[in-house]
Amino acid sequence: MRHRLPLVAGAALLLAAAGGFSLLVGGDDTEKTAAGAPMARVAVPELAGVAARGRDLFDGACAVCHGENAAGRAGIAPPLVHVIYEPAHHADGAFLLAIARGVRQHHWSFGDMPAVPDVTQQDVAAIIAYVRALQRANGIY
């Protein structure tokens, strides 16, 4: 009986972690959300300088898919204000490459992201500043 306790505890921990990961990456909730609806609640901080410019650029080039304030759009594209896109997992260079070259589907089931033409590297730097400001305001570091 004593030997089963660590096994049962380990199994329970694994199941809890799997359930938590499922919630973290969307789980079943993304399928229950109306198509195009925001996927995340996003607190928007006061923006100035490069981040404010990035907001305007994001609104013009990215929001049609990734939603207002990078909250995602159910059935269309994921929220960028999400722990998956934290700097330690998706560094700024990943955003640069995604915009320049597009991205194959890998975390979400939205399909591949096409490249976004006519967005300069300076524009991308401003968009990244905006997204990172949103992430910080929402506890994603």
Flag whether pLDDT at 4 surpasses 50.
Answer: no
Instruction: In whole angstroms, give the CA distance from residue 82 to residue 114.
Output: 20
What's residue 33's pLDDT? 76
- Decide: helix, strand or coil at residue 60: helix
Give φ, ψ of 113 to 5 degrees.
Answer: -95, 125
Ramachandran category for residue 49: left, alpha or beta (phi over 0 → left; psi -120 to 50 → alpha) = left
**Which range, of 2-6, 93-97, 112-116, averages the lowest pLDDT?**
2-6
Residue 26 clears pLDDT 50, i.e. is over it: no
Which residue in the block uniquely carries the two structure tokens 């929001």? Answer: 63
pLDDT band with cut points at 50, 70 and 90 for residue 72: very high
- CA-based end-to-end distance of the chain: 43
Q: Is 103 helix (H, G, I), strand (E, B) or coil?
A: strand
In the chain, where are the structural domains located?
1-32, 33-137
Query: Is 74 a residue whose pLDDT tops 60?
Result: yes
Asked whether the predicted pLDDT for residue 75 surpasses 90, the reply is yes
Q: What is the pLDDT of residue 2?
A: 52
Assigned architecture for domain 33-137: Orthogonal Bundle (1.10)
Nearest CA among 54, 31, 29 for reference residue 131: 54
